[in-house]
Amino acid sequence: MSSDMQKRDLAAPSRDHPWGRALSQRAHYAKGGIGHWFRDFRDRKVFSLLEGKGGWVVDLGCGEGITLEKLKKVFPGKRSVGIDVSRENAKVCRLHGLPALCGDVHRLSLKAGTMDSCLLMDVIEHIEDPEGVLEEILRVLMPGGSLILVFPNDGIFFLARILFLKFREAFHDPGHLRGWNPGRMKGLLEKKGFRVRRRMNLPFLFWPISLYHLVQVEKP
């Protein structure tokens, strides 16, 4: 089977995919529309916080590597790697020429104090033990290294999907184990020993009408 055929097969819906027969991330992204535009907008905000920083960047919960692929293009001088719990996602990444590993964010196969930056985007709401994961990230970051964390405003996402007539997506169970808000997240990050550097709501200034909250923290 050719490499192109493998990529097409892995981009198609699969009963073994974590979302069952739902569209794969790459297939959904390729459809374009508001979801595609907003993902690019979110990633540009994240990348702006990585400018001027060198070394290693790890994308935790990288999925099928959409952000990881853009990261390598925008910052060719950085050494980047993706980690995802799904073997299929890691395989999709590798078929697109992206460095990715199958691994658990609770127990990272990374040496202590080796990462300059960690990305945790659209992940923490799926995690059973967020405190344990943040402790593990703190372990692998070098002193002065940063974590950029992004989480959704589930209520506004539901309303936005209804507004844009995305009824299937609105009533699809995304597998979120808990909802977060900016204050609760800030308190947890400070409790774990991070220093908060930047916080912003996306795409609007106020959390109640925004889709995402982005926070950048630093390991002392």
Tell me how far apart the alpha carbons of residues 95 and 110 are, in angstroms, rounded to a whole number: 23
State the number of CA atoms in the 13 A half-sphere of 136 facing the CB: 16
Tell me how far apart the alpha carbons of residues 137 and 180 are, in angstroms, rounded to a whole number: 19
162 pLDDT higher than 70: no
Note the pLDDT tens digit of each residue in 135-149.
999 999 999 999 999
Tell me how far apart the alpha carbons of residues 217 and 159 are, in angstroms, rounded to a whole number: 30
Note the pLDDT tens digit of each residue in 194-219.
999 999 999 999 999 998 999 999 99
What's the pLDDT at 111?
96
- CATH code at position 112: 3.40.50.150
- Best CA proximity match to 93, nearest among 109, 110, 70, 116: 70
- Mean pLDDT is lowest, of 20-34, 45-59, 75-89, for 20-34
Most confident segment among 2-16, 29-43, 170-184: 29-43
The first and second tokens of residue 192, run together, are 């774990």
Non-local (6+) Cβ contacts of 92 within 8 A are 7, 10, 11, 24, 26, 64, 65
| φ/ψ bin of 122: left (φ > 0), alpha (ψ from -120 to 50), beta (otherwise) | left
Do you find a cis peptide bond into 143, omega within 30 degrees of 0? no
User: Per DSSP, which regions of the chain are E strands?
Assistant: 56-60, 79-84, 100-102, 115-121, 141-152, 195-202, 212-218
* pLDDT band of 67, cuts 50, 70, 90: very high
What's the pLDDT at 123?
95
Domain that holds residue 119: 3-218
* pLDDT band of 24, cuts 50, 70, 90: confident
Looking at the 3D structure of the chain, how many domains does it have?
1
State the number of CA atoms in the 13 A half-sphere of 82 facing the CB: 28
- Best CA proximity match to 140, nearest among 96, 198, 81, 64: 81
What are the φ and ψ backbone dihedral angles of 150, each rounded to 5 degrees?
A: -130, 130
Note the pLDDT tens digit of each residue in 86-113.
999 999 999 999 999 999 999 999 999 9
